[in-house]
């Protein structure tokens, strides 16, 4: 922006910016996504009163807040948030740490314990999908944590569409085939991606989440789509400062794996900056979560001349 235009924008900002949009016009934004490993202020108990999932410890919560304070995301996608009150608690703690993210989205899916959520510095419009069904082993099912779907108005001329998911775990349960369930969920997500890109192929689209599967699996490859096509998504090659690409550590087996992803469509891929994009590496990372935060820096296109 030229100096005269910058001065004019500063002087008339309240007139140039639509209601609900921050007066400042950023030239880049930082998106982060993180599975927080059960951000619960109260333990979850079964019908007999036994604890099935413990509350998150004060030390773990403090480590989450400190890590996010260092990252300073403008938009924060979250997995394994508990109730709306738990999300509000994190939001308030971040506010006290100097990170203001006033706009929230929380998906009320069939899973009553773990939720997908988002905090944003910018206004957003919510269009979550929690009701689409699929058939599995003769029964009607829904995506367990729903599909977070928001449009974040990062700038008046830059609406960023974001989808967030937490697909079914790979741990064996007797009720149904977890892999088949996860694959069915991924097909619902891909259908939503197709519809979005069909109606607005040039609009920036970002998909994040815990896919609970490897990069070469039908689940992950299916959501990304056929490479090189207009409706494909690029899986961002995230790594930490040492070059490690794992996002999850399964303590019981000692395994390190990559099961969390950020995908973007081609128009948005051109705006992703290499610097400021990757995985956060902390000395005490495991205190905060068994997953690591993913960070993507997006350079916004120059605003068109008025």
- pTM here? 0.90
pLDDT at 173: 59
Residues 95-110: pLDDT tens digits? 999 999 999 999 999 9
Answer whether 195's CB lies under 8 Å from 161's CB.
Answer: no
Q: Does a structural domain hold residue 304?
A: no
Residues 19-43: pLDDT tens digits? 334 445 789 999 999 999 999 999 9
The band of 304, judged by pLDDT with boundaries at 50, 70 and 90, is confident
Domain residues for the domain of 224 are: 29-299
Q: Does a structural domain hold residue 142?
A: yes
Measured distance CA(256)–CA(111) in Å, rounded:
26
Please determine, for residue 16, whether its predicted confidence score (pLDDT) is greater than 70: no
Answer whether 262's CB lies under 8 Å from 305's CB.
Answer: no
The band of 175, judged by pLDDT with boundaries at 50, 70 and 90, is low
Q: What is the per-residue burial (b if ≥16 Cβ within 10 Å, else e) of 38-68?
A: bbbeeebeeeeeeeebebbeeebbebbbebb
Measured distance CA(264)–CA(247) in Å, rounded:
18
CATH number at residue 181: 3.60.10.10
Q: For the residues 1-22, what does the mean pLDDT come to?
A: 35
Q: Does a structural domain hold residue 172?
A: yes
Average confidence score pLDDT of the chain: 90
Which strands form 205-210's sheet, in the order they lie side by side?
A: 124-126, 148-155, 158-166, 205-210, 260-265, 233-235
Q: Does a structural domain hold residue 3?
A: no
The band of 302, judged by pLDDT with boundaries at 50, 70 and 90, is confident
Measured distance CA(294)–CA(276) in Å, rounded:
10
Measured distance CA(163)–CA(107) in Å, rounded:
11
pLDDT at 19: 35
Q: For the residues 159-165, what does the mean pLDDT come to?
A: 98
In terms of Cα–Cα distance, which of 58, 80, 90, 70 is closest to 280?
A: 70
Residues 116-140: pLDDT tens digits? 999 999 999 999 999 999 999 889 9
Which CA distances in Å does 211 have to 53, 168, 183, 259? 21, 8, 10, 6
Q: Does a structural domain hold residue 133?
A: yes
Q: What is the per-residue burial (b if ≥16 Cβ within 10 Å, else e) of 240-255?
A: beeeeebbbbeeeeee
Q: For the residues 10-23, what does the mean pLDDT come to?
A: 34
pLDDT at 174: 59
Q: Does a structural domain hold residue 90?
A: yes
The H-or-E segment that residue 257 falls in is: strand 255-257
Q: Does a structural domain hold residue 155?
A: yes
pLDDT at 170: 74
pLDDT at 47: 87
pLDDT at 5: 37
Percent of the chain at pLDDT exceeding 70: 90
CA atoms within 13 A on the CB side of 196: 23
Q: Is 63 helix (H, G, I), strand (E, B) or coil?
A: helix
Q: Is 73 helix (H, G, I), strand (E, B) or coil?
A: coil
258/9: higher pLDDT = 258
Backbone φ/ψ region at 274: left (φ over 0), alpha (ψ -120 to 50), beta: alpha
Q: Does a structural domain hold residue 214?
A: yes
Measured distance CA(31)–CA(297) in Å, rounded:
6
Percent of the chain at pLDDT exceeding 90: 82
What is the total count of domains within the chain? 1
């Amino acid at each position: 922006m030229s100096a005269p235009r910058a001065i004019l924008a500063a002087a008339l900002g309240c007139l140039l910016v639509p209601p609900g949009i921050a007066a400042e016009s950023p030239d880049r934004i930082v998106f982060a996504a993180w599975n927080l490993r059960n951000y619960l202020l109260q333990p979850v108990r079964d019908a007999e009163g036994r604890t099935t999932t413990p509350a998150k410890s004060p030390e773990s919560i403090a480590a989450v807040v400190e890590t996010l304070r260092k990252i300073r995301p403008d938009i924060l996608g979250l997995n394994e948030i508990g109730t709306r009150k738990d999300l509000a608690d994190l939001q308030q703690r971040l506010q006290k740490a100097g990170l203001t993210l006033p706009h929230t989205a929380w998906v009320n899916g069939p899973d009553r314990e773990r939720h997908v959520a988002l905090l944003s510095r910018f206004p957003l419009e919510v269009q979550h999908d929690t009701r689409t069904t699929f058939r599995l082993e003769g029964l009607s099912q829904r995506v367990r944590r729903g599909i977070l779907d928001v449009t974040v108005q990062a700038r008046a001329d830059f609406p960023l569409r974001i989808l967030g998911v937490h697909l079914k775990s790979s741990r064996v349960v007797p009720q149904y085939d977890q892999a088949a369930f996860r694959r069915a969920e991924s097909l619902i997500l891909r259908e939503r991606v197709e519809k979005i890109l069909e109606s607005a192929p040039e609009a920036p689209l970002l998909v994040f989440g815990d896919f609970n599967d490897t990069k070469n699996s039908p689940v992950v490859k299916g959501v990304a789509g056929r490479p090189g096509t207009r409706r494909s998504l690029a899986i961002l090659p995230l790594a930490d400062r040492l070059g490690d690409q794992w996002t999850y550590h399964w303590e019981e087996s000692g395994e390190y794996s990559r099961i969390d992803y950020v995908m973007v469509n081609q128009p948005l891929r051109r705006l992703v900056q290499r610097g400021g994009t990757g995985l956060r590496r902390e000395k005490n990372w495991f205190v905060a979560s068994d997953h690591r935060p993913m960070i993507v820096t997006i350079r916004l296109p120059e605003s068109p001349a008025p």
